[in-house]
Structure 1
Amino acid sequence: MTGPRHRADTRAPAPAACFNLVTGVMGLVIATLIAHSALADEDIIRSHGYSYFGELSYPPDYKHLNYVNPEAPRGGEISIAVSGTFDSMNPYSRKGRASALSSSMYESLLGEILAGSGALPADVSGEYYGLLAHSIEYPERKDWVIFRMRPEARFSDGTPVTAHDVYFSHKLLLEQGLQSYAEAVKVRVPDAEVIDDHTIKFYFADGFSRRSLIETVGFTSVWSRKWYEETGAKLNESRFEVSPGSGPYVVDEVVPNRRVAFRRNPDYWGWHLPINQGRHNFDRIRLEYFADATAAFEAFKAGETTYRTESDPKKWATAYDFPALRRGQVVREELRDGNPPTMGGIVFNLGKEVLKDVRVRKAIALGFNFEWTNQSLYNGLYAQQKSFSDGTPLEAKGVPTAEEIAFLKSLGDVVPPELLTAPAIVPHSSAPDRLLPRKNRREAERLLDEAGWRVNEGRRENADGKPLRVTFLFNATADPTSKSIVVSFMANLRVMGIDARLDVVDDSQYTVRERDRDYDLILDRYPSLTGTGAGLIQRFGSADAAYSLFNPAGLASPLVDAVIEKSLYTTSQAEEDLAVRVLDRVLRHEFFLIPTGYVPDHLVAYWDMYDHPEVQPPYALGTLDFWWYNSEKAKALIASDESS
C-alpha cells in the first residue's frame, strides 16, 4: 500500500460524568447509565472512508490520490474504437445492448467506477473514500451504516442530490434491477431510512455475513428521483433517454450503432474534492463503433480514433508497422498491470446435459493446445493461467496445506475425499509443434470411452446412438485471432470424433443468446479472486446459477457455496486469505472453464498527444481517469502530419 496507514475509526469520547449534584444510590444509578451510554457510543466507528478490517492508507486531510498528477491540464479529446453495436443507453436492464460507458455519468456514496478503472483508489485494495458522502458511521458489528452526504452535490440539471434520491435508487434497483442482484440485496438489506435530506441509514438483516454489505449500498448508483417520476421511465427498459447524473461527464452525442460522446461538465459540483484532483481531464470522450475488430484497427491507423488498448497479441507483434507509427506519431507502450488476470477462456455451459459429466469436459479441454496457440497465434506474448488468483499469495498450489485441509474438513460431507490429497488442478501441457499431441488425444479418447461415448464410424455416440455434439457460440465482431483459436480448437474436437459446430452470429444475436445461455461453449471470463465478498455469490453461487448474467457456466456447487459462506465470516486478513486460497482450489476442481491464457501487461497505443503519470498504479490503467491531453504535443503532431 502507498503511504502511511491510519486507523479508519475515530472513537467518540465518553461524556464527562457529573456527580456533584447527585449522591447515594441515585448517584450510582446515574453513573451506571452514563457508563453504559459511553460504551454504546464508543462502539460507533466514524470515518472519512471505509475498509472491512478498519485501516485506511489515506488520512482525512489527504490532498489528492498519490498516483495522479494534481497539476494535469484539462482539455482535448480522446477517441476510442468499439467493435459491435448498441441500441440502448441504459446498462441496468437485460433488454437491449447498452453502449460502453453508459453508466459513467452516475456516482455513488462511496465512489465511482470510470471506464474500467475499478473502485478508487487504484493504488490500494479494499479501501474506499467518500464521494457523494463525506463520512460514514457504523457499529463494530456492522448491523447498520449511516452515510452523511455532501450538501453541495448536484445532478447535471442543477437539482440537489439528496438522501431521498439515494433511497429511491436503492428501491428502484430492488424492484426493477437485475434479478440476481435484487434478490441477493433484498434479503440482506431489509430496510433503509432517510434521516434528513443529507443523511441515510441502511439496516442489515440478521443471519448474514456483514462482508460487502456496506460496499453494496455504498456503491449503488444514485439517480434523480425527480426525473424518473416526471418521465415515468423504467430501469428495466431499453432506451436512449438518459437521466441526469451527478458525475463529471454528461452525454454529448448519441448516434445509434455509430457513435457516443461524453463531454466534461464545467459545472460539475465535485471539482474541489481531493479525490477528483488530477482526474477527469479530457474535455470530450468519443466512442466510435465499427462492425468488427479489423475495421476498428484500421480506423486507429488512419487517425479516426486516437487511443487503443490492444487485446490481440498477434496484432501487437505483427501489425503495428504503419506509416504514422514509423514517423513517430503513434506511441506504443507496455504498462504494468498489478491485478491478477481475470480467468478468461472457453466456458462450459453446465446446464447442458452432455457437459454435466466432468470426464467429457476434461476430454474436450484436451483439445485446446496453449503452447501451440501461444507460439502460432500470439507470438509468445501470452502467459498460461493456472489459477483464479494467478501470481498472488492467494493462489492454491500443490496438495492442500494442513490449514487448507482443516478448513475443508470443517465443511462436512460436501467435500469429496480426493480434494484433501490431490494437487490443485492445473492446465494440461501440450507441445508448440503439433496442434493435437498424441498423448493428449489418447487421454481424451480414454475419458470419452469411460464416459460412455464410444466411436462408431468415426464419431462419438452414446449407447442410444446419439452423437456427442457441442456448439460453440462466437461473436462475429471479435478479433480474427480469437476466431483462429476457436477454429483450431474445434478441429481438434472433430479429430476426437466429437461433432463440434461453430455458430458465428452478429452482435445483437450474440447478446440475446448469451443472456439466454443458448450455447454449449463460449468465450467468456470470471473475475480474479482478490478477496471475499457477497459478490462471489452472484458469480459462483448456486442460488442464482440458473439465470445470473455473471455466471456464464451456470455453476451450481454445494461445495463452492459452502466455501464462500465460510469465507464471509472470516475475522482477520489471514483467515480471509486462507478461505480464498481454498476457494481457488475448489473452483479449479469444479472444472467449468478452459483457461486460454493472458497478457501480463497492458498493451496500449495512442497518437502522441497524451500523457500519463510516470508511476502507474497497480490496479488500474486509468486512461479515461487520470491521463491527460498535451496541447503542445498535439500541435507538434498536426505540424508533422502536415509536413509528411
Structure 2
Amino acid sequence: MTRLLFSLALLLLAGPAAADTTGPTHGIAMHGDLRLPPGFAALPYVNPAAPKGGTIRQAVTGSFDTLNPHIVKGVPALGLGLTFESLLTRSWDEPFSLYGLLAESLEVADDRSAVTFRINPKARWHDGTPVTADDVLFSLAVQRAHGTPNRRLFYAKVTTAEAPDPRTVRFAFAANPDGTIDREMPLLMGLMPIHSKAWWGDRPFDRTTLEPIPGSGPYRVASVDPGRRITYERVPDYWGRDLPIRLGQFNADRLDYVYYRDDSVALEAFKAGEGDVRREIDPAKWATGYDGPALRDGRILREELPHRRPDFARGLIFNTRRPLFADVRVRRALGMATDFAWMGRTLFHGVLARTASYYPNSELAARGLPEGEELRVLAAFGDRLPPELFTRPFALPQSDGSGPAGSRGNLREALRLLAEAGWRVRDGRLTDSGGRPFAFEILLADPSEERIALEFARSLDRLGIAASVRAVDSAQFQARLERFDFDMTLRWWISSLSPGNEQLYYYGSEAAGQEGSRNLAGIRDPVVDAIARSIAEATTRADLVARVRALDRVLSWGHYMVPLFHSPVDRLAHWTRLKRPETTPLYGPLIETWWVEDGR
C-alpha cells in the first residue's frame, strides 16, 4: 500500500531528525525498566483461571447524557472505558508502565522525540473489521480538534503523524522552548483512545450522543435508559481475550450500572440486593449504614484494602478568577476558621486523615524542608515564592477538637490576615472599604456533602462571612464547572504515582482559561507552570519525585483550597457471590479482575 500521510488540522511543522531507537519492545516504562519481561504469562494481580459468567451490578449516583467520554460536552455514562481501547495499556502494579494492547510492539527514539507503533494483526472492532493505522490517525485528529482540554494540550505537541502501512503508525514530537523533549509523550500517545474512522463517517464527534459507539474493547453497550441505567455485555469473540495483559479480567458476562439521585438511596438499593459491589467513601455510612440482615448473616462482606497510590486531593476549592479570592491572605484566612479535628472525629468517625498535600498517601507529598533536587528546583524561583516556603514546613492550622466554636487563636489570626487584605468587621459582618459584605456561594453536586459545607459555612459566620450552600443536579453542576461559574466548590484532583502533563491541565495558566479544564481554582502562576512542565522532562524516578514535591509545596503555600480528608485504604462492600484475586495491586483493587461465583 502506498505511504499514507495524515495532515492534522493545521500544517504540521517538520518533525525532528530521526533519532536512534532501541528496537521493538513489548512495553515502555516512564522511568526505569519494565517489571514484566517479554512473553509474560499474566499480570501479577489477576486470577488467570477466573471463571466467566454472571452479572455484576452497581448502584451509583448521578446521571449521564452521553456515550462519548472523550469530549467536553455532556456527562458520560460509567463503564465506557471498557468499550474503547488504546495502543498500550497500564499495569496497575507499577507507577507508570504500559504494555502492548492494540499495538503488539513499539519502537521509541532514545531521546523520546518519536515513537512507532505496530498494530496487532488480530485487533478488531466489534463489527469484526480490523483496527488500522488510519483509525489511529483519525482518532488523533478528532481528539486534537474536539477532545477534552487535557488531550488537546497533549496532542498539540505532535508535529508529524504518519502511517507507512496499514499496521504501522509513527508520531514525532516538538521540542520544548528550551530544547528538551517531553519524555511522557510516547506513553500519552500509547494511551490515546482509538475510534473507528469508518463508523464515525459524517457523524459529528463533538456532540453528545446516546447512540452506542462501537469500540474494540471487551464489552459493548447492550442497553441504555438515558440518565437511569446502562448495561454492558461481554463481547464473546473479543479479539484480545487471550492476550497476557487481558487474562483473568472482564469475567462477568454483563455489567449493570443503575443510577440513583441520592447516595443514601443507592446504599439501601445495594443492601436490598440491587447491587453487588460498592465502594464507600463516607466513613459514617461505613461505620453504621451497612447494618442489616445481609451483613449480620455474612451475605455481605466489608473489606478495607490498603493501597499505595496518591489519594484524592479533596477540598473546598476557591475559584481565584473571582476577585473575592484573588488574595492569598484571604484564602489562607478562610482555612483557619473551622475545627477540622472536631469535624473528622464527629462526621468521619476519626478514620480519615486530614489532607495536607496535593498527592496525599504517597512518596510524592512534600515533607519537611526542601532539600537536594527539590531545593534546587525551588531556588530558581526564590524571588517569586514566599520566604517561609524555604524556612518552615507547610502545615495546616491546628485546632483543639473542642467543637464548632473553633480555636480562638486561629480566628484571631484569620481576622488579622483579612484586615491586611482590606477587610473589616462592621456590625458583625465582614466588609470591604466600600462597605460591600464578604459573601459567596459553595456549589455542590452531592447532597451528602452538605454537612461538610454547612459546617464550614457556620465557622465562617464567626468571622462575619456569609457563605451559602447550594446543591444542584449533576448536569447543572457539570455545566457550571465547565464554565467556571462558581465561587467555591467541593471537588478534588487525583494523580497517579507518575504525574506528568496532566499537571498543567490541573494547575497550568493556559488551562485556567480553557472551559472544561480541571484547573478549577483558576491558578495562573508562572512558577507553577514551569515546575509542572518540568515534571514530564524528568529522566529518573528520583528527579520526578523531587519535582512533584516542589510543585506540591508551591501549590500548598498558594492556599488554593481548604483541604479536607483522605483515606489510606479502599473500603469495599460486596455480596459474597463476588470473588476477588488474593493480590491487590499498587493502585488498589480493580473490579474488572473480580468474578461471579459459579457464574450466577
TM-score class normalised by the smaller sequence: over 0.9
1:411–1:563 Cα contact (<8 Å) kept: no
Q: Within the alignment, does 1:434 sit opposite 2:412 as a pair?
A: no
How far apart, CA to CA, are the structure 1 residues paired with 2:205 and 2:187? 21
Greater shift, 581-590 or 246-255, is seen at: 581-590
- Residues 42/525 of structure 1: CA separation in 2 closer, same or farther (3 Å cut): closer
Partner of 2:458: 491
Q: 1:550-561 to 2 correspondence within 5 Å?
A: 550-561=518-529
1:515-534 aligned at under 5 Å gives the runs 515-528=482-495, 530-534=497-501
TM-superposed CA distance for 1:388, in Å, is 2.4
Tell me the residue number matched to 1:168: 138
**1:565 deviation in Å?**
2.9
Q: Deviations over 1:549-578 (max 9, x none)?
A: 211111111111121233333332222222
Q: CA deviation at 1:400?
A: 2.2
Q: Which runs of 5+ in 1 are unaligned?
A: 1-39, 112-119, 635-644
**Which residue of 2 is the match for residue 83 of structure 1?**
61
The CA deviation at 1:393 is 3.3
Alignment-mate amino acid for residue 467 of structure 1: P
Q: Contact 2:222/2:231 (CA < 8 Å) preserved in 1?
A: yes
Aligned to 1:578: 546
> 1:195-232: CA deviations, max 9, x gaps?
11110000111335322101121111111100011xx2
The equivalent of 1:99 in structure 2 is: 77
Range that drifts further, 102-111 or 64-73: 102-111
- Give distance in 1, aligned partners of 2:371 and 2:382: 18
Give the TM-score normalised by structure 2. Answer: 0.93
* Same amino acid, percent of matched pairs: 37
Give distance in 2, aligned partners of 1:292 and 1:151. 46
- Quick one: structure 1 residues 171 and 617, their matched pair in 2 at CA, closer, same or farther if it must change by over 3 Å? same
Aligned letter for 2:461? R
Q: Which residue, 430, 450, 468 being the options, matches 1:501?
A: 468
- Aligned-pair distance for 1:264? 0.5
CA deviations 1:261-302 (Å, max 9, x no partner) are: 001010111111111111111111100011111111111111
Please give the secondary structure, in 2, of the residue aligned with 1:47: coil
- Matched ranges for 1:19-58 at <5 A: 43-58=21-36
Give the whole-Å Cα distance in 2 for the aligned partners of 1:71 and 1:103: 23
- The CA distance in 2 between the partners of 1:531 and 1:307, in whole Å, is 29
1: CA distance between counterparts of 2:103 and 2:374? 40
Distance 1:214 1:597, change over 3 A: same
Paired residue for 1:310, among 249, 259, 280? 280
Whether 1:202 aligns to 2:194 is: no
Structure 2: which 5+ residue stretches go unaligned? 1-17
Q: Is the 8 A contact 1:89 1:239 kept in 2?
A: yes
For residue 184 of structure 1, report the CA deviation from its aligned partner.
4.2
Task: Summarize deviations over 1:291-339 as a string: whole Å, max 9, x none.
Answer: 1111111111111112111111001111121111112111111112221
Picking from 239, 262, 268, the partner of 2:232 is 262
1:145-224 aligned at under 5 Å gives the runs 145-186=115-156, 188-207=157-176, 209-224=181-196
What is the CA-CA distance between 1:402 and the residue it aligns to? Answer: 4.9
In the alignment, structure 1 residue 356 sits paired with structure 2 residue 326: yes
Aligned residue number for residue 5 of structure 2: none
Query: Amino acid of the residue matched to residue 432 of structure 1?
Result: G
Partner of 1:535: 502
Corresponding residue to 1:288 among 233, 254, 258: 258
Q: Deviations over 1:428-485 (max 9, x none)?
A: 111222112222222222221221110111101111111111210012x442xx2111
Instruction: Provide TM-score, normalisation by structure 1.
Output: 0.87
Residue 591, structure 1, aligned to residue 544, structure 2: no
| Aligned partner letter, 1:429 | Q
Q: CA deviation at 1:403?
A: 4.1
Distance 1:493 1:236 in 2: 42
CA RMSD, aligned part only? 1.8
Q: Please state if 1:276 is matched with 2:276.
A: no
List, as ranges, runs of 4+ consecutive aligned residues in structure 1 with deviation greater than 4 Å. Answer: 40-43
- Please tell me the residue identity of whatever aligns with 1:209: I
Distance (whole Å) between structure 2 residues aligned to residue 286 and residue 403 of structure 1: 48
